[in-house]
Structure formats: structure tokens, C-alpha cells
Amino acid sequence: MADTLIEVSHIAKTYYSEAGELPVLHDVNLRIERGEFVAIMGASGSGKSTFMNILGCLDKASAGQYFLAQQDVFSLNKDQLAQLRNQVIGFVFQGFNLLARTSLADNVALPLVYAGVAKAERQQRALALLDKVGLSRFYHQRPNQISGGQQQRVAIARALVNKPTLILADEPTGNLDSKTSHEVMSLFCQLNDEGITVILVTHELDIAAFAKRLVIFSDGQIIEDKAVQNRSWPC
């Protein structure tokens, strides 16, 4: 289907060590259309983080198929995977992953350096995105000069700088208080309203309630896939 952004079929993942085999995912099937907002939940060890890494082209399944933006991910070489990640996906992590000695504007612009974008355009796009997340006046400051919630906003701006189709957010509110978490989730909702597909991993039901769809993992399999009732957006 033309509107299908992600399609995984019969995905399995097994890790191997001296202790033996460790099966993590078993026969996972999921289709996500463009413009969806999906929350993934599950207990520790349920396979949700491994599945997120596979979606982000950071890990490869042991079996199955994965199509992202109509590309057969498992058939791509290392360089092709990197190009697909840079063009399609923006990542947001629990720990922000900002460079401590670098200004907020330069943190946001960093992916554009690797993409070979000229300095003037990098600065213009970084400042525009800092303005979008309400932090343009802090563009010259460093991460340790702003709050955790503001740092996560910078991380979201950085995720957007390559104009991705998809945002993957792994526990994006895990280090934030409740009020700040809801502010960050409202920003994700706004981005989704603009047409960006959002997939987030969370262990918090109140955070999952901002999504439109909830997928629950247990023992390496999807055990529930349903629409979110009583959604927290609009707030």
C-alpha cells in the first residue's frame, strides 16, 4: 500500500553467546501507516526495545522481512542503511544525547554536518527548529545551562532537522517530571498533527495515552494492538 510506512512480517531475533541462544522476538507482524502515532509498551525483557532498534535500522532481525518507506531494509548494505536512516528517521532518546560543550544551535545542526549541508543553511534550519520548540532565545547556550525538559526539546529539534518522515522516541520522558513530560508529549502530538509518523516506547500509561494506537509486547510477541481510548490530546 502506498500509505504504508512500516511493514514487518514474521520478525524474529535471537542473540547468541557462550551461554547459548537467547530468543528475544518471535514471529512479530506489524503494519504502520503514514501519519500514525503509535505507543509501544511492555515489561522489561518483553522485546520492545529490540524491536525499536530493528525499526530504527540499528539492529537486524534473525528472520523475517522489514519494509520501511517501501524499501526492503534487510537487503540494504551498511551505507544504504545509513542513508535511509538519515533521510527517513529522526531519533529521540531518554538521555537527550546532546554534546555538552556545544551550543544548542550546533547540537541541532549536527546531523546536517554529516549530510554535507552548507553552514549558512545549517544555522538557518537549526534556529528555525529551536524557534519551533520554543527555545530560539537560548540558541547560543550549552545543554547544562537549560533544564532537562528544555534539553529534550532540543533533542526533538535535532531529530527534525533532516525533515524526517518518522520519529522514533525511546522513553523520551523517562528523565522528566510529570508536568514537563506532558509538555514534551504535547510537542510530539503537534508534530504528528503536521503529518509526521511517531512511534514511541514507554512504560507509562499516561504517556501512552497521548498516542492514537497502543501496541503491547510480552515475551517477544505482540499480544495486543488497539486504538487508544480517552486520548490525552488535544489537552
Contact assessment for residue 156 and residue 184, using Cβ atoms and an 8 Å cutoff: yes
pLDDT above 80 for 149? yes
Going by their DSSP bridges, the two strands 221-227 and 213-218 should be labelled as antiparallel
pLDDT tens, position by position, 68-118 = 999 999 999 999 998 899 889 999 888 778 889 999 999 999 988 888 889
pLDDT above 60 for 235? no
Contact assessment for residue 172 and residue 93, using Cβ atoms and an 8 Å cutoff: yes
For the chain, where are the E strands, in sequence order? 4-17, 20-33, 37-42, 63-68, 71-72, 89-93, 166-170, 197-201, 213-218, 221-227
What percent of the chain is predicted at pLDDT more than 70? 98
Least confident of 4-18, 83-97, 156-170, 218-232: 83-97
| Averaged pLDDT for residues 176-202 | 92
| Averaged pLDDT for residues 11-39 | 95
For 219: left if phi > 0, alpha if psi spans -120 to 50, otherwise beta; the answer is left
Per-residue model confidence (pLDDT) at position 94: 80
- Which among 135, 112, 132 is positioned nearest to 122, based on CA atoms? 112
Q: Residue 2 carries which side chain, given as an amino acid letter?
A: A
Q: Which positions ≥6 away from 15 have C-beta within 8 Å?
A: 21, 22, 24
Cell output for 206: 499516561
Domains of the chain: 33-61+77-227 (3.40.50.300)
Contact assessment for residue 156 and residue 130, using Cβ atoms and an 8 Å cutoff: no
Per-residue model confidence (pLDDT) at position 97: 85
CA distance 104 to 169: 20
